[in-house]
Structure 1
Amino acid sequence: MQITIFGGTGPSGKALIQETLRRNHTIVLFARSPHKLDPEFRDSDRINVVQGTLDSYPSILSSLRGSSCALILLASTDGMPHWVGGTSSSLTITNAYRNIINAMSELGIKRLIGTGTPSHVEPLDGLNLALFLGVSLLKVLLPKVYEDVVETGKLLTSLGEGGVDGASKEESDIDWTWIRVPNLYDGPSKQKYKLGYVGQGGWFLLPRLSREELAKAILDEMYQGNWVKGIPFCCD
């Protein structure tokens, strides 16, 4: 199976690429800066790199052609300082998702799995004090980042409701899943990931997640489809 990955140049993307290759898939990797990829990925005959920016619809369309699924590991940098890769734009990730969804609809691709954060709140979420304080701080210090996450969640849930926000029938039929993640760390986890809702692991301790376990969660969900049109919280 061919899979298109957006946001594969960071550490979480590296873990996802490794897990995807381990499961014998081929990859089309959409990247603004392919030079950031590890040489083993750039030289792999099972990875095709498409260079482009998230506002370039033709590049996104090209990267999705022939794929069965889109995996999205994009994080907003709206309003952050330029020296850390920030941008002065608004809703960068929301608009990227919209472009990806439109391209998928045009090509007839149904499966999309992305990642977000607990800035988006689900009705079944409980209280986790550490996450609540972290999201509150983000809302004050980086309001554009917070807004971008919230609006991405609204975009996806509007698809799940069957055409709100101007979505076409084809867009509404996309089988999307958006996995919210806490603090991520490198290295193996001592336990398998869990998918559920905020607060199920306790209301005080800060949840964490290994990048390796996140990669497994994404690909397991691609196979199993337990959270189609759902927004679970993932931690280990």
Structure 2
Amino acid sequence: MPRVSGLAFIQEALQWPIPPKLTLYVRNPSKLPAGTEVNARIVKGELSDEAALASAMDGVDTVVSVLPIADDLKTVLKLMKVNGVRRIFALSTPSYFVPGETRGWIRSAYLVLPALLIPQGKAEMVAIAEAVAAEKDLDWTIFRVPNLTEASSDLPVYAGLLGPDYTGSLSLSRGSQARWILKEMEDNAWIKQAPAIGN
């Protein structure tokens, strides 16, 4: 998990009023903040190591994924079902279209740039959302994010479908993203939905 968004989630989770019991599946534990091992269970492994990944899921009830590669996430989904883990939060972007959404010209133009500059990245984000949404037996939430920033974690987060009433901005701080996920783990307001979120 320790990409930048993953590290932000760990930091916010450990400061949460009632911190969740964290299991971190990582390739390189040395990249974790010092002292993380005191408050979290750490399992070292590659995403291709299904035995290690299955071990990491022992006793887990929720998976939070910030993986950028769809094939890697498909392995996670398979092992979730094998190990009886039902809840997953998966990162995607508004490039994944949800029926009923409408987009103004500013947001449409904003979405065109990634498609032109990093078409593979856009394709992976769409494939991730499609793979998760196809899992009828899992309680999934796809959180679709705009440009991620290092701004304050205390910024408010708006969630919903894109359209005239959507008030989220074109940016989202990684810390506030983490706090939104932690709150949604408690509220379960977006099960089997794919809200766009933004500050």
State TM-score, norm by structure 1.
0.75
Distance in 1 between the 2:28 and 2:104 partners? 36
Task: Tell me, yes or no, if the aligned pair for 1:104 and 1:110 is still in contact at 8 Å.
Answer: yes
User: Structure 1 residue 34 and structure 2 residue 10: aligned?
Assistant: no
Matched residues, number: 196
Q: Give the counterpart letter for 1:31 in structure 2.
A: V
Deviation at 1:66, TM superposition (A): 1.0
Is there any run of 5+ residues in structure 1 with no aligned partner, and where?
1-6, 76-92, 160-171
Task: Give 1:52's aligned residue.
Answer: 45
Among residues 50, 57, 60, which one is paired with 1:64 in the alignment?
57
Residues 50 and 191 of structure 1: CA distance in aligned 2, closer, same or farther (over 3 Å):
closer
Residues 227 and 153 of structure 1: CA distance in aligned 2, closer, same or farther (over 3 Å):
same
Among residues 158, 176, 190, which one is paired with 2:140 in the alignment?
176
Distance in 1 between the 2:125 and 2:166 partners? 23
RMSD: 2.0
Residues 107 and 138 of structure 1: CA distance in aligned 2, closer, same or farther (over 3 Å):
same
Task: Give 1:169's aligned residue.
Answer: none
Q: Give the counterpart letter for 1:196 in structure 2.
A: G
Runs of 4+ in 1 over 4 A off after TM superposition: none
**Alpha-carbon deviations, 1:178-222, whole Å to 9, x = none?**
1001111123267411110224446xx961112221111111111
Among residues 180, 192, 204, which one is paired with 2:156 in the alignment?
192
Deviation at 1:10, TM superposition (A): 2.6
Q: Give the counterpart letter for 1:179 in structure 2.
A: F
Deviation at 1:54, TM superposition (A): 2.1
Among residues 97, 105, 109, which one is paired with 1:129 in the alignment?
105
Task: Give 1:109's aligned residue.
Answer: 85
Is there any run of 5+ residues in structure 2 with no aligned partner, and where?
none
**Alpha-carbon deviations, 1:100-157, whole Å to 9, x = none?**
1111111111111121111111123221434423432222332222211111121122
State TM-score, norm by structure 2.
0.88
Within 5 Å, which residues of 2 pair with 1:204-223? 207-223=170-186
Q: Give the counterpart letter for 2:138 in structure 1.
A: I
Distance in 2 between the 1:184 and 1:139 partners? 17
Q: Give the counterpart letter for 1:192 in structure 2.
A: P
Task: Tell me, yes or no, if the aligned pair for 1:19 and 1:216 is still in contact at 8 Å.
Answer: yes
- State the SS of the aligned residue for 1:45: helix
